[in-house]
Amino acid sequence: MLTILRNRTYRHLFLAQIVALTGTGLATVALGLLAFDLAGERAGLVLGTALTIKMVAYVTVAPVAAAWAQQVNRRRMLIVLDLVRMAVAVCLPFVNEIWQVYVLIFVLQSASAGFTPAFQASIPDVLTQEKDYTQALSLSRMAFELESLVSPMLAAALLLLVSSSTLFWGTAAGFAGSALLLFSIVLPSPKPSAPRPVYERTTRGIRNYLKTPRLRGLLALNWVVSAIGSMVIVNTVVLVRAELELPESSVALTLAAFGGGSMLSAMLLPRLLDRISDRTVMLAGAGLGIAALAGLSLAAFAAPLTYARLAIAWAVIGAGYSAILTPSGRLLARSAHAEDRPAIFAAQFTLSHACWLLFYPLSAWLMAAWGGGAAMLALALLATAGLIAAHRLWPADSASPVAHSHPDLPPDHPHLQSGHPHVHPIIIDDLHPRVPHSEGR
């Protein structure tokens, strides 16, 4: 897997991701401490509002940013957005009002909403072989999970030496390091074949995403990921601290079990995806995560919840979670030409975070109103609905040849140069939404 790091451009991209993630992890800890300093016992409300602002920014800004990404140099855009995020991090230590936190968080997350899809869309342009790209997706997933483990420990070590506000300077350093690494490479920056109106560029990614069968299936799987993941992210602290009455360190260990399951799955996936289709792996991962959540729920109804069962279930859910998310980049890369990839990745970014925007508050409400067992069962049932939808929306034979015609194209059009002027077989899995016949499939 590490052989792809011999590619200098990808190596710098991966290092940029690592340093930016580390900075973001420090900011997560620092923001919680800042919220407590400003709001005291109301810190949870402040953080909840900040999380909602983050999701709103992700859902609304990403399509607009993707529309403009097609018109500018991609590397330059990524560097500017990193510098914007660095500037926000520099400002955060000096805030003294809650509303200032909200404004800065919106600016920070708006920049991230533009940065992340464009960054992700650049990787398949750099690693053009699907095997290499699959390994990069696994490395990326492992980096995300490792950041969730390492950043809190790094923050704890730094807090022994410096004040909490100083952590924001570490965040700024992470974004600055990312910008410098991007500055040191040359990125492909494909241009659209013809200029399009702003509205079309803004909505094109989502429209094409929703017209492509495997991506509609991916959206249903995003629903599953949000349903099972929100239970872990939102309610782990309640389950461990309130129901099991365990110390704070147990919260970290429980989340580490989830991250460990996800990392193990990401490590195994490249070889698995060489032998088994993406659809089979992703649907199986969804089923695995749902089964673990439902099983833990039923066990909680039968007997008091135990820490061992919770940690095992969280590890299995993490494995299923990663099995869904890791191959998703392959589906997105197959669904667009290079110049359209930022729009497709932005559509995935927007629609997946719309699912999180729904399930974050829902999981919290279910936990508060019904308790852990009932909340897990309800979320497992909602996730099951998503799995059924994915199975139906994503045809099992989506890689089979389909005969189609092009009466509107001239006989010398490149798309018709296959030996059959107007009718020829094509592989649906190799289509992307710009081809008219793929949009209604």
Q: In this structure, are 216 and 168 located in the same domain?
A: no
Instruction: Kindly state whether residue 432 falls inside one of the protein's structural domains.
Output: no
Contact 104, 94 (CB under 8 A): no
Residues 14 and 36 in one domain: yes
What residue type is assigned to position 24 of the chain? T
Instruction: Give the residue with greater pLDDT, 257 vs 392.
Output: 392
User: 281: domain CATH number?
Assistant: 1.20.1250.20
228 in the same domain as 181: no
Task: Out of 166, 189, 212, pick the residue that ends a domain.
Answer: 189
Same domain, 29 and 147: yes
Domain endpoint, select from 189, 218, 248: 189
178 shares its domain with 212: no
Q: Are 11 and 63 in contact (CB under 8 A)?
A: no
Pair 235, 178 in one domain: no
Q: Where does residue 6 rank: exposed (0-12), middle (13-18), buried (19+ CB within 10 A)? A: exposed
Q: What is the pLDDT of residue 426?
A: 31
* Overall domain count for the chain: 2
Is there a domain that residue 431 lies in? no
pLDDT at 192: 56
Same domain for 152 and 228?
A: no
Whether residue 330 is found in the same domain as residue 213: yes
pLDDT digits 0-9 by tens, 122-140: 888 888 888 888 888 888 8
Considering only CA atoms, which of 27, 4, 18, 25 is closest in space to residue 177?
18
What dihedral do alpha carbons 262, 267, 270, 273 form, nearest 10°? -40
Residue 306 · residue 243 · CB < 8 Å: no
Indicate whether 216 belongs to any domain.
yes
**Whether residue 174 is found in the same domain as residue 262:** no
34-48, 63-77, 293-307, 325-339: least confident range: 34-48
- 417 inside domain: no
CA distances 1 to 134, 137, 249, Å, are 9, 10, 32
- Residues whose CB falls within 8 Å of the CB of residue 247, separated by 6 or more in sequence, listed in order: none
pLDDT for res 289: 97
- Please tell me the predicted confidence (pLDDT) of residue 84: 94
pLDDT at 205 over 70: yes
Lowest average pLDDT, out of 16-25, 26-35, 117-126, 215-224, goes to 26-35
Range of weakest confidence among 27-31, 77-81, 203-207: 27-31
Tens-place pLDDT, residues 370-383: 989 999 999 999 99
Confidence band for 390, pLDDT divided at 50, 70 and 90: very high
Burial group, residue 247, by CB count within 10 angstroms (0-12, 13-18, 19+): exposed
User: Is 428 a member of any domain?
Assistant: no
Question: Is there a domain that residue 65 lies in?
Answer: yes
Residue 418: inside a domain, yes or no?
no
pLDDT above 50 for 338: yes
Does one domain contain both 105 and 170?
yes
Local confidence band at 398 (pLDDT 50, 70, 90 cut-offs): low
Average pLDDT over residues 285-297: 97
Q: Which of 140, 163, 189 is the last residue of a domain?
A: 189
Task: Please report the DSSP string for 219-238 in residue order.
Answer: HHHHHHHHHHHHHHHHHHHH
In a domain, 152, yes or no: yes
Tens digit of pLDDT for each residue in 57-83?
Answer: 888 887 777 777 667 788 888 999 999
CA-CA distance, 125 to 78, in Å (whole number)?
Answer: 15
| Token reading at 90 | 């520099």
Q: What is the pLDDT of residue 381?
A: 98
Q: Highest mean pLDDT: which of 52-61, 228-237, 239-248, 385-394? A: 385-394
Residues 104 and 207 grouped into a single domain: no
Residues 19 and 40 in one domain: yes
Report phi then psi at 304, rounded to 5: -55, 145
Tally Cβ neighbours within 10 Å of residue 404.
17
Domain that holds residue 212: 197-394
DSSP reduced 3-state for 61 = helix
CA 118 to the chain's CA centroid: 13
